[in-house]
Amino acid sequence: MNFFERQAAARRNSTRMVVLFVLAVAGIVVAVDLGVLLVFGMQLESPGGAVALVALSSLATLAVIGLGSLYRIASLRGGGEAVALQMGGTPVPEDASDFNLRRLRNVVEEIAIASGVPVPRLYVLEHEAGINAFAAGYAPADAAIAVTRGALDKLNRDELQGVIAHEFSHVLNGDMRLSIRLMGVLFGIMMLSIIGERVLVHGRGGRGRGGGAVLGIALVALVGGAIGLFFGRLIKAGVSRQRESLADASAVQFTRQTAGLAGALKKIAGLHDGSLLTDKGKAEEVSHMLFGQGFAMSKWFATHPPILERIRALEPSFGAERLQRLSAHWLKAPPNGLQEDVALGLTGPHPGSINAPPPLPPVDAALVLAPASVTAQVATPDADDYRRADAIAAAIPDALRGLAARREAAMPLLLGLLLDDDEALAARQRGEIGARQGAAMADYAGRIHEQLIAELHPMVRLPLAALTFPVLRLRPRPELDAFIDTVHAVVNADGRVSLFEYCLGRLLETQVRESLDPARYARFGRRKPGAVKHELATLLAVVAQAGNADEAAARRAYLAGLQRVLPNEHVAYAPPAEGVRALDDVWEALDALDPLAKQLLVEAVAAAIGHDDRIAVAEAELLRTICGVLHCPLPPMLEKG
């Protein structure tokens, strides 16, 4: 099952969740109605009164569940950050001095570059000694990953990488938006129980007939809430278990080895704290998001497969007796992740690598693209993607990496990436910056370009820009709007837009703007290619024109792409006069395609780019940008045979 098939399955799971939710609500309404009749039915004088009572009871129950769900969904509109903060997460600073936090950020950035997604926001649950983690958000642009302090302290680097890779698979597979919506609807289902508890606590002193009625309402609400809790746990278990097994398998693929993930699971199984969280109420709500079980529960309601089953899926020979020996050993000498790193040789600039990362291809290289393999690569980083990610990370100077992590330097760094080598044009661009952001930022951006960026390998520029996005998201919306306006002015200072300028500007706008209002962009598309054929034609024409100076060759490339996605349609080749800027009008329609239609689109773009059996670095960045805007993250190593 590839990325697009997993996305389609996630959409089906969303529909399945809605159906289960409706059935659960119907069951709760029936139970509450029966309870109301049992408590108040003897006082009714006519059948009509019973009908009215049931109708009122049903409406009240539906209102409580509906309003509860809407309230919780609204409270989670901020996406992954909102969930992490509500769980008590502490943000991980970009310039953290704690070595455990720096190790966490390095692991996350490595996996982000290798998988082609934005670096997520990072949080630590400081007061949790168990080994656990979760990913939350509506889309990769607003994703947040939270880990417990126990995971940071007890896991070595390989084990931490396995846990983070597991969470990244949820980011890539569309699991997060399903999980966050599940939190909302389940809160509504359990609202009756919350109301019943509050009524019992605050209405305990009631006397006489009125007090009996209050007690009766509270008991009915508690019973309805218990039924809601039963259904809620069943829904979570049904939706979650298969996804957790898939995430384990994906994590192994991401990290190229099973030992790390298996080691983390062994420590969960063998240590006293395991993966348990101290706040059972919060653990209950996010149990379907967690890496391991957040609290003890019956196997009928478990959101994860049994821990030994997960370990044996990675190490078939692992048995309970080995787990007992490990548990006894850790009881005497608790594991320390940093000490294990030193003992295993997992410290240093590229831990675990026997050889230095291979060099990046020459700037003027013409890479060989195999279009048929591109869709298989989407959201599926392989060993060579990690080697390329290591090479990209190694090619980013420490000075630039430091600037990307600093709040006051992120904007000048991005503007410095956009400054032209031509002095006259660069002067006009600095003038645009000065008019909008002030002379100080214009001068700072100029110095960064001259001293640090002028000799930077083109393949490093977009990954470097992506490292600044988490810092930019911390800025107030008005500042971000003004900054994006400045970027547009710098890009258009000469009336032309290069592929790199367009790619950087579009990724900035997509990933930063989406993080400001993530719920707005949380959707699975349903449109078919035939409904957006003109937008498809525009995209393919721009791609073909960008990669071929000869019009006849561009036409052939266009037709090769069109044949992949619209084999029975004829749309004439008509490259837009405004060039790459014409793509601004196609993204919304194309992002609304259903997952399997997006697969055809990515194949079509790859066919158009690779029609001449070569791909320049600029074309590779355009392909990666197209995939990023369409929420189909593409790893960095395209030239696979």
Residues with catalytic function: 167
Specify the residue for token string 């478990």.
302
Distance (Å, whole) CA 308 – CA 323: 9
Q: How many other CB atoms are there within 10 angstroms of residue 139's CB atom?
A: 25
| Structure tokens, 525 | 């598309």
Distance (Å, whole) CA 286 – CA 281: 9
Distance (Å, whole) CA 197 – CA 99: 45
Beta strand 90-91 with 121-125 is antiparallel
DSSP string, 13-62: HHHHHHHHHHHHHHHHHHHHHHHHHHHHGGG--SHHHHHHHHHHHHHHHH
107 neighbors 164 (Cβ within 8 angstroms): yes
Beta strand 144-148 with 133-136 is antiparallel
Question: Phi, psi at residue 542, to the nearest 5°?
Answer: -65, -45
Distance (Å, whole) CA 464 – CA 85: 27
571 neighbors 535 (Cβ within 8 angstroms): no
The neighbouring-strand residues paired with 144 are 121, 136
User: Closest Cα to residue 32, out of 68, 66, 72, 59?
Assistant: 59
DSSP 593: B
